Structure 1
């Protein structure tokens, strides 16, 4: 399984997530503690937003711990919204096109998880894409294809709803083809303004997701596993969607019916200094 970290708030240097913390993303690339595999050495990538609507991106197939350029870039680039990912491949070769984050227009996307029996579902999944999105597919992973399906189902219009529709389509497709239904999906995605995350699995074994306040004036970080031993990290439950926006953090129930569940779940306050947002206990 992969590891990732994302941030939205007042501008921070990328190193605040990628290299500096005690359990930084680079540390997790060779010593993850809350994943099935401790090593995530099949490439890495970062996507960040600046003055232009579309994100900048840097990806490579080297293990994150061995790329001196990544450390240099993380030390120099400062951004109010960025995504960073280290990959442990579950399918698709070790090549740059398969490294996260994936981007399309103003959107960026990264994923930890899998689609079961993907080799049998891949072609009908691809057939659902309009030409515009099909032509944008450059890699071979289930992750990139889930991102393009979400775009197909209206990510611009309703990010959480489009994600639910894409995952629901894959589950129904597996049933239709007589294949095992297995979707494990913990993903972060952004349009350059808000940061979204979803934790969901059809077998209730979703990859982990944590959140904590970070930086000045109400910034928040979403991660696969905590970056340090600070008790500010709150685990986001399976079956949840997270939206980090101007007013803080919103956590809601998430499912793959025709529409996501919209009711707010019971919330408790984040630790002092967290700003306006709230998280599940």
Structure 2
């Protein structure tokens, strides 16, 4: 599994969360306190927004704790919306293209979790990515595939429903393969104005996800960044949140419902006919 965090609010230096917390993201890369994998050393990545339309990315395959450039970059970079991720591979190669966050246009996305039987469903998974987006399939992870499928499902129009539909489609493939766990999903994604996060699993073991409201913004993190646990709120499984600055709203996140909705089935049938 992996660890990640995100910030939405007043501009702040990235190292304030990535490095300078009791249980910062870099600390989690060495010793995560929650989750299956204590060590997350299979690469890392950052995505942040400035006055440009699209996010800027910095990724590498080194462990986050050993990258001197990461310390310099986060110390001198300020942003009002950024995402950061440290990776523990569930089977795909340690490569820059497999490091999160992933990006397309103004969107970026990062994920902690897995789809069971990935090796068996990988070809079908790639087939779910719209042809117009397949040139942006740079890596080999199911995480990147979910992101590109969600873009094809209408991420621009309805970011939460589109992500739920993408997760439902991938979970259905995994169920057909019979490999457990069918889907474990904690993720963050953003268009540069809004920040979204969701937590879901096909079993009782949804990856951990928390948020904390501060005076100047909202932190989303795989685990609390400090011992003040009373200030951290666990996001319930089957829930998505949407933040813009210091405003937070909560929504149901139900991929199973998305997969069986007559309206959604009709949309897929219409898309197939158009193709």
Aligned pairs (5 A) from 1:101-120: 101-120=101-120
1:163 corresponds to 2:177: no
Corresponding residue SS for 2:198:
strand
* Cα distance in 1, alignment partners of residues 103 and 156 from structure 2: 13
Residue 175 of structure 1 deviates from its aligned partner by 4.1
Residue 177 of structure 1 deviates from its aligned partner by 5.2
* Cα distance in 1, alignment partners of residues 71 and 153 from structure 2: 37
Q: Which shows bigger deviation, 227-236 or 167-176?
A: 167-176
- The superposition leaves residues 64-122 of structure 1 with CA deviations (integer Å, 9 ceiling, x where unpaired) of 00001001111100000000000011121011101000001000000000000011111
Q: How many residues align?
A: 258
Residue 38 (structure 1) aligns with: 38
> Aligned match of 1:227 in 225, 238, 255?
225
Instruction: Identify if the C-alpha distance between structure 1 residues 212 and 117 changes in structure 2 by more than 3 Å, giving closer, same or farther.
Output: same
Please tell me the root mean square deviation across aligned C-alpha atoms, in Å. Answer: 1.5
Aligned pairs (5 A) from 1:32-71: 32-71=32-71
1:256 corresponds to 2:252: no
* Cα distance in 2, alignment partners of residues 87 and 100 from structure 1: 8
Residue 100 (structure 1) aligns with: 100
Residue 152 (structure 2) aligns with: 152
* Cα distance in 2, alignment partners of residues 169 and 229 from structure 1: 38
* Cα distance in 2, alignment partners of residues 30 and 122 from structure 1: 30
* Conserved? CA contact 2:218–2:246, under 8 Å: no
Structure 1 runs, 4 residues or longer, greater than 2 Å off: 171-181, 257-260
Residue 125 (structure 2) aligns with: 125
Residue 168 of structure 1 deviates from its aligned partner by 1.1
* Conserved? CA contact 2:55–2:106, under 8 Å: yes
Corresponding residue SS for 1:251:
strand
* Cα distance in 1, alignment partners of residues 153 and 235 from structure 2: 25
TM-score, normalised via structure 1 length: 0.88
Unaligned runs of 5+ in 2: 260-275
Aligned pairs (5 A) from 1:166-185: 166-176=166-176, 182-185=182-185
Aligned pairs (5 A) from 1:63-102: 63-102=63-102
* Cα distance in 2, alignment partners of residues 249 and 117 from structure 1: 35
* Cα distance in 2, alignment partners of residues 212 and 41 from structure 1: 26
* Conserved? CA contact 1:26–1:65, under 8 Å: yes
* Conserved? CA contact 1:9–1:215, under 8 Å: no
Higher helix share: 2
TM-score, normalised via structure 2 length: 0.90
Residue 236 (structure 2) aligns with: 237
* Cα distance in 2, alignment partners of residues 98 and 215 from structure 1: 35
Corresponding residue SS for 1:71:
helix
Residue 211 of structure 1 deviates from its aligned partner by 0.4
* Conserved? CA contact 1:47–1:83, under 8 Å: yes
Residue 262 (structure 2) aligns with: none
* Conserved? CA contact 1:194–1:243, under 8 Å: yes
Residue 249 of structure 1 deviates from its aligned partner by 0.8
